[in-house]
């Protein structure tokens, strides 16, 4: 059984859907990349999985059970955590305060919070140096690290990361993907939204989205097939 199954999602912001029946699965332990151009529907897809948008029809299943109309916070307790597009850190709180807020669902277990904090600091040593700095004064790259770190603080089973590489230098984007790969290797399943095909070498599964539908799915070695790049670049 897949950890995540998205079944026939139809989602819109008004009467007209922008997702026209999107279905895919992500296996436990995978790093899955959802690629597509501006407006393809990537953010709409992960926002629906996180419970921020209600589908007109279709379902999101975790471990084979529908999440139904569960709220975003209930989904966090079920192990689904979103690192949103545009970082959205709390600018007037420090790095440490931002991270601790990410562990709100774990607040009754200070030991878990401490462990997750240590883990995030292992992944992003830069954040240790900046622990007491206000998040709003961090560089763009540091804010992105903080956003990924904050999403990790709830100790999710499934991390949704929406365009972490946007606005980062190629080197920094690579660093974020490498850390994401490590997060996956340490046991967290990841669904990562990207526009940059440079992420493909890190993926176990790639989904290509265009105009609210899935155009192509590739698993394993098929990801490195030139046809996939053509399908994406030609989209």
Ligand X SMILES: Nc1ncnc2c1ncn2[C@@H]1O[C@H](COP(=O)(O)OP(=O)(O)OP(=O)(O)O)[C@@H](O)[C@H]1O
Contact set with Mg ion (CB under 5 A): 42-43, 85
Among 3, 17, 31, 41, binds ligand X (CB under 6 A): 41
Contact 161, 192 (CB under 8 A): yes
Closest among 83, 215, 74 to 229, alpha carbons compared: 215
Name the residue nearer to ligand X (CB basis): 40 or 168.
40
C-beta of 53: minimal distance to ligand X in Å?
Answer: 9
Instruction: Return d(Cα 113, Cα 220) in angstroms, integer.
Output: 34
Rank residues 60 and 127 by Cβ distance to ligand X and give the closer one.
60
Q: Which of residues 159-188 bind ligand X (CB under 6 A)?
A: none
Per-residue string for binding with ligand X, 95-134, x by CB under 6 A? ----------------------------------------
Burial level of 220, CB count in 10 A (0-12/13-18/19+)?
exposed
Residue placing its CB nearer to Mg ion in the complex, 18 or 117: 18
DSSP string, 154-188: T--SEEEEE-TTTT--HHHHHHHHHHHHHHHHTT-
Residues between 57 and 96 that touch ligand X (CB under 6 A): 85
To Mg ion, the closest distance from the beta carbon of 103 in angstroms equals 26
- Choose the stretch contacting ligand X; rule: CB under 6 A; options: 36-44, 67-75, 144-152, 182-190: 36-44
> What does the CA dihedral 229, 35, 233, 209 come to, rounded to 10 degrees?
110
**CA–CA separation, 151 vs 196, rounded Å?**
21
Secondary structure of residue 21 in the 3-state scheme:
strand
Binding residues for ligand X, total number by CB under 6 A: 12
Closest CA to 9 of 31, 41, 35: 41
Q: Which does 165 bind (CB under 5 to 8 A by kind): Mg ion, ligand X, none?
A: none
Count the helices and strands in the chain (H runs, E runs).
8, 10
Q: Are strands 65-66 and 17-26 parallel, antiparallel or unpaired?
A: unpaired
Among 17, 36, 55, 102, indicate the residue that binds ligand X (CB under 6 A): 36
CB of 39 to ligand X, least distance (A): 4
Closer Cβ to ligand X, 13 or 69, answer by number: 13
Contacting residue, 39, 136, 140, 170, with ligand X by CB under 6 A: 39
In the complex, the residues that contact ligand X under the rule CB under 6 A are 13, 18, 36, 38-44, 85, 195
């Amino acid at each position: 059984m897949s950890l995540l199954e998205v079944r026939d999602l139809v989602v819109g912001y008004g009467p007209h859907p922008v997702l026209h029946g999107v279905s895919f699965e992500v296996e436990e332990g995978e790093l899955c990349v959802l690629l597509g151009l501006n407006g393809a529907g990537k953010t709409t897809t992960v926002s629906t999985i996180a419970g921020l948008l209600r589908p007109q029809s279709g379902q999101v299943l975790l471990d084979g059970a529908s999440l139904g109309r569960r709220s975003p916070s209930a989904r966090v307790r079920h192990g689904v955590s979103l690192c949103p597009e545009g970082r959205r850190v709390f600018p007037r709180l420090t790095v440490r305060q931002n991270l601790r807020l990410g562990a709100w669902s774990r607040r009754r277990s200070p030991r878990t919070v401490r462990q997750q904090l240590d883990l995030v600091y292992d992944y992003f040593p830069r954040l240790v140096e900046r622990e007491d700095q206000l998040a709003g004064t961090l560089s763009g790259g540091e804010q992105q690290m903080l956003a990924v770190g904050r999403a990790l603080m709830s100790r999710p089973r499934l991390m949704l990361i929406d365009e972490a590489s946007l606005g980062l230098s190629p080197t920094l984007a690579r660093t974020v993907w490498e850390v994401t790969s490590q997060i996956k290797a340490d046991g967290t399943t990841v669904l990562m939204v990207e526009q940059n095909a440079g992420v493909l070498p890190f993926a176990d599964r790639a989904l290509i989205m265009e105009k609210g539908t899935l155009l192509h799915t590739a698993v394993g070695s098929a990801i490195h097939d030139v046809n996939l790049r053509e399908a994406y670049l030609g989209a």
